[in-house]
Amino acid sequence: MLSKQDYLAIADKLNLPTNAFINGHFAASQSGATFATHNPATGQELGQIAACDEADVNQAVQKARQAFDSGTWSKKSPSERKQIMIQFVKLLRRHSHELAVMETLDSGKPIRDCETIDMQETIDCIQWHAEAIDKIYDQVAPTGDDAISMVIREPLGVVAAVLPWNFPMLMAAWKLGPALAAGNSVILKPAEETSMTCLRMAELAHEAGVPAGVLQVLPGLGDICGQALGRHMDIDGVSFTGSTEVGRYFLKYAAESNLKKVVLECGGKNPCIVLDDAERLDEVAEQVLTAVFWNMGENCSSNSRLIVQEGVKPLLMAKLQEKLGNWTTGDPMDPRYRLGSLVSKVHFDKVMGYIVKGQQEGATLVAGGKAIETGSGLFIEPTIFDDVTADMTIAQDEIFGPVLSVMTVKTATQAVALANDTCYGLAASVFTSHVRRAHLIAKAIKAGTVTVNCYGEGNLATPFGGYKQSGFGGRDNGVHAHDQYTELKTIWLDLTTESDAELD
């Protein structure tokens, strides 16, 4: 970590990318249209970003298809692709301070997270998939002696990834790593609030040797640029991360166009269960707070519901209050602060609206609940509601802000029932010292990831995605992510012979 002064000096020298990255070059949108992007912590406009529309999408898809068909990337051997991606990783590492600062400026996320989490995991993710690709084998099916059948994987072709604003670089990496490694041509559509780091990543990938047309970035508005990608007849697959509401559109777009493959990573209203037999309550309290408040709660796996058994509740609540002061909020460019600004005024108003609603519906506000006045920033105090019941809006809706809803249960059975009582199923955490109970609960919770005695999302080697309305069609991370970007092909070779003489 550097000092605030160092980060400000880096920010001063930054060359902020604003144009689309098409066929190896930065370019304005064909219409010349732009939209503003802001630093949400100060309200300052950072630049006018190219607003790509259908014409730009058509051009990028054509270049992506040409690149794919030419084989400059798709037909390279896995180890050749690996070498180029490792070079990309080296450039990301070399420019990591610059990228982290750019991320903080564009999103309001704290620099300490952008440096130590987002940037680090972005690098690790690209490296993981680069290193995996020359170690994944195809299969030979058990056919018997009169045939040989190979089950092989081929890249999909042209794939689009439509991204959210909460982890702009990292979500790009989750898609790019496996999609590029598998040999596809990739088009990224960053969220409109946060286009810059994606653009810079594409430039670095190109510098590392990823050929023109293989990685392109089209910034733009969701219902124009995102929709044009979703409906394009020559895109073979879309990997989307964002809200469940928008995710649904991509199924519709695919149904009404070319039945492209669709994978959705969507929202969550994730439970954290703490039972009476949980050990080391200080650590539990720290994990509970991290689970809900890190990244200002703008996190799909945020454990925004604390389901606590009544015996342990008084002590746990006291410890939460005691440790809440560690969650300092302030200038995201200052590495002392753990929390920065929310991403936009629209989102800030939405989160504040939920805080009002929680009070109106009868929940008890026990911490926070107010905006932090800084002039133009969009800061909200870490907020805790007690006495939340399952029928309340703040128990069901994904708030995507620093708001914890505490619900009390008498038994572990009630805890599981409550945990499963939302339309989502992305992630969950369970704290108990009883190993058998931990297993039973982990199996009973309908979620893609369940962590025991810790909060987390697993790591790069473990698949991440949701049950129920938290996801559709596949998983990010692990070798499982490669399934999203490949088609299975069966090659069946007949070996039946009339007689042994045929051998000659």
Active site (catalytic) residues: 265, 300
- Determine contact, residues 401/407, Cβ cutoff 8 Å: no
Contact flag: residue 84 with ligand NAP (CB under 6 A): no
Distance in Å, CB of 297 to ligand NAP, minimum: 10
Contact flag: residue 426 with ligand NAP (CB under 6 A): yes
Chain centre distance of CA 369: 27
Residue among 310, 296, 188 nearest 240 (CA): 188
Contact flag: residue 165 with ligand NAP (CB under 6 A): yes
Contact flag: residue 117 with ligand NAP (CB under 6 A): no
Between 335 and 471, name the residue whose CB sits nearer to ligand NAP.
471
Distance in Å, CB of 503 to ligand NAP, minimum: 54
Distance in Å, CB of 247 to ligand NAP, minimum: 7
Q: Number of helices (H) and strands (E) in the chain: give both, helices first.
A: 17, 24
Residue owning tokens 């949980």: 278
Distance CA 335, CA 327 (A): 13
Instruction: Report the residue from 104, 216, 241, 295 that binds ligand NAP according to the rule CB under 6 A.
Output: 241
Between 226 and 377, name the residue whose CB sits nearer to ligand NAP.
226
Instruction: Report the residue from 53, 203, 265, 386 that binds ligand NAP according to the rule CB under 6 A.
Output: 265
Contact flag: residue 227 with ligand NAP (CB under 6 A): yes
Helix (H, G, I), strand (E, B) or coil at 340: coil
Rg of the Cα atoms in the chain: 24
* Site mask for ligand NAP (CB under 6 A), range 9-48, x = bound: ----------------------------------------
Instruction: Report the residue from 293, 294, 400, 472 that binds ligand NAP according to the rule CB under 6 A.
Output: 400
Instruction: Report the residue from 63, 129, 189, 231 that binds ligand NAP according to the rule CB under 6 A.
Output: 189
Distance CA 191, CA 356 (A): 27
Contact flag: residue 223 with ligand NAP (CB under 6 A): yes
List, as own/partner pairs, every contact residues 144-151 make where C-beta atoms lie below 8 angstroms and the sequence separation is at least 24, other chains included.
Answer: 145/495, 146/494, 146/495, 146/496, 146/497, 147/492, 147/493, 147/494, 147/495, 147/496, 148/492, 148/493, 148/495, 149/490, 149/491, 149/492, 149/493, 150/490, 150/491, 150/493, 151/488, 151/489, 151/490
Stretch that binds ligand NAP, among 120-128, 133-141, 189-197, 382-390 (CB under 6 A): 189-197
Stretch that binds ligand NAP, among 66-74, 131-139, 216-224, 352-360 (CB under 6 A): 216-224
Instruction: Report the residue from 106, 113, 192, 203 that binds ligand NAP according to the rule CB under 6 A.
Output: 192
Contact flag: residue 186 with ligand NAP (CB under 6 A): no
How many Cβ atoms from other residues are within 10 Å of residue 353's Cβ?
13
What is the total count of residues that contact ligand NAP (CB under 6 A)? 29
In eight-state DSSP terms, residue 151 is E
Distance CA 197, CA 168 (A): 7
Pairing of strands 237-241, 215-217: unpaired
Between 180 and 198, name the residue whose CB sits nearer to ligand NAP.
198
> CB neighbours of 25 closer than 8 A, spacing ≥ 6?
212
Contact positions vs ligand NAP (CB under 6 A): 162-166, 171, 189, 191-192, 221-223, 226-227, 230, 241-243, 246, 249, 265-268, 300, 398, 400, 426, 466
